[in-house]
């Protein structure tokens, strides 16, 4: 069933894209506009043909294909795309369509928002993580000097079209990465949703509409209440303080996907919440046992802990020289602006990687 949700400046439509407002938007508002579709090589090979044949309004588009992978979420790849947009002579009235996972929608949103002081863009997420989280809410950006999302803007897409059929070609590993954000949404805002998730044997692409929609609605509600992250939107960063440091640490080593890093970050941050006596032991044990069962814990050297703690100092949420964290005090409720020490972060990493008992 096609469903449409309005989120202030942006429209989110869930369902078969051919029955959405996509074609009428292109034929109407962008009738005379140039349209460029940005994708990575995977979404080019696996999603583009299907999209073009499913909606027949994309025949007159140009495409720009960039390499996949978080290591390419950089300003230099953006520069190549901006050069191509200039070659295609895009004006401020033209349109960029981002077809891909969170990498493409984050980077494409940034590219569009900066080009000629901002052109319109539409997101068509193709990964679970993109659908449930990255493709709406207005945060766009790229990594810089090895740190996550250091350059970016708040800008909403004109619309986001979520068609779950794109998930048919998404590798199982990336399905699981998307689940990390669904789990985060449940933990910060919906205890009942968590109870449905914790009963699952596998985290597969067989996601019930109920779980999908409840997860989506948590992010939508939070963003609507605080679009520019002045306050409560920070709860969406649960798992991301430690998660982003892990992602940055592994960026130049073995690959660790964003969702996977967030799942590990949730384990560590639940440890912190437990240690600070905010989170009850039962909740702590249930969450960490479930996540450790479903998300592989990579092997690291003991010395790496100090290096990861160092990376926490580049987190965008820090202020006054202090590491700031969002963590839950019970399943379904999240606190934000919680200052945490380096020592407790290091301890949480020991728990995560070396299974040291909870102190
Ligand atoms: N802006 C936000 O609010 C927000 C929120 C969460 C995450 N993010 C960002 O999102 C990014 C992670 O997103 P992601 O997990 O989607 O990563 P991704 O975009 O790198 O996609 C993961 C992999 O799946 C491939 N892929 C995507 N769709 C496919 C499909 N349908 N079939 C086959 N392969 C497909 C991609 O090519 C890539 O190799 C990170 O950069 C993270 O910082 C942003």
At residue 147, the pLDDT reads 85
pTM to 2 decimal places: 0.95
Residue nearest to atom 5 of ligand 1 (CA): 134
Using CA atoms, how far apart are residues 182 and 199, in angstroms rounded to an integer?
14
pLDDT recorded at residue 241: 95
Q: What mean pLDDT value characterizes the chain?
A: 94
130 CA from centroid of ligand 1 (Å): 6
Question: Which pLDDT score, from 0 to 100, does residue 8 have?
Answer: 61
Residues 201-230 pLDDT 10s: 999 999 999 999 999 999 999 999 999 999
Pocket test for ligand 1, best of 127, 143, 176, 205 (most atoms within 8 A of CB): 127
| 159-162, strands of its sheet edge to edge | 3-7, 10-14, 159-162, 120-125, 95-100, 35-40, 62-66
For ligand 1, atom 3, which residue shows the shortest CA distance? 134
Per-residue pLDDT, 313 = 86
Q: Residue 126: its pLDDT value, please?
A: 98
The reply to whether ligand 1 has any atom less than 6 angstroms from the CB of 241 is no
Residue 138 in this model has a pLDDT that exceeds 80: yes
Give the pLDDT score at 291.
Answer: 98
- Tell me if 251 CB under 6 Å of ligand 1: no
At 254 the pLDDT is: 83
Residue owning the nearest CA to atom 14 of ligand 1? 102
- Segment 247-255 shows an average pLDDT of 89
The residue that leads in pLDDT, 321 or 96, is 96
Among the atoms of ligand 1, which is closest to the Cα of residue 141?
A: 1
* CB-count burial class (<10 Å; 0-12, 13-18, 19+) for 17: buried
Q: Which helix (H) or strand (E) holds 298?
A: none
Ligand 1 atom nearest residue 125's Cα: 28
- Per-residue confidence band for 107, with pLDDT thresholds at 50, 70 and 90: very high
Residue of the CA atom closest to atom 13 of ligand 1: 102
Q: What's the rounded mean pLDDT across residues 69-94?
A: 97
Is the shortest distance between the CB of 163 and ligand 1 below 6 Å? Answer: no
How far, in Å, CA of 242 to CA of 338, rounded?
13
Question: Which tokens go with 219?
Answer: 């992010």
């Amino acid at each position: 069933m096609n469903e449409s949700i309005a989120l202030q400046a942006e429209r989110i439509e869930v369902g078969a894209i051919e029955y959405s407002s996509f074609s009428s938007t292109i034929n109407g508002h962008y009738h005379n506009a140039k349209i460029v579709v940005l994708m990575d090589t995977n979404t080019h090979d696996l999603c583009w043909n299907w999209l073009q044949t499913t909606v027949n309004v994309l025949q007159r588009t140009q495409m720009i294909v960039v390499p996949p992978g978080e290591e390419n979420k950089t300003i230099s790849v953006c520069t190549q795309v901006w050069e191509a947009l200039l070659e295609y002579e895009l004006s401020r009235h033209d349109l960029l369509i981002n077809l891909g996972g969170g990498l493409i929608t984050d980077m494409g949103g940034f590219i569009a928002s900066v080009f000629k002081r901002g052109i319109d863009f539409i997101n068509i997420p193709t990964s679970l993580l993109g659908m449930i989280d990255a493709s709406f809410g207005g945060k766009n950006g790229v990594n810089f000097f090895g740190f996550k999302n250091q350059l970016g803007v708040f800008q909403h897409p004109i619309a986001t079209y979520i068609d779950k059929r794109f998930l048919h070609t998404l590798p199982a590993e990336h399905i699981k990465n998307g689940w990390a954000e669904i789990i985060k949404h449940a933990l910060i805002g919906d205890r009942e949703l968590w109870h449905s998730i914790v009963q699952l044997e596998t985290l597969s692409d067989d996601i019930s509409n109920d779980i999908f929609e409840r997860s989506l609605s948590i992010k939508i509600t939070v963003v609507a209440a605080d679009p520019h992250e002045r306050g409560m939107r920070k709860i969406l960063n649960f798992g991301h303080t430690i998660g982003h440091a892990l992602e940055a640490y592994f960026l130049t080593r073995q690959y660790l996907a964003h969702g996977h890093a967030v799942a590990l970050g949730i384990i560590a941050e639940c440890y912190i919440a437990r240690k600070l006596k905010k989170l009850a032991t039962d909740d702590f044990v249930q969450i960490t046992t479930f996540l450790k069962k479903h998300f592989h814990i990579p092997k690291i050297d003991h010395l790496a802990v100090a290096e990861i703690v160092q990376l926490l100092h580049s987190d965008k949420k820090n202020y006054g020289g202090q590491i700031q964290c969002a963590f839950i005090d019970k399943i379904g409720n999240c606190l934000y602006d919680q200052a945490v020490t380096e020592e407790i972060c290091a301890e949480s990493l020991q728990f995560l990687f070396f299974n040291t008992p909870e102190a």
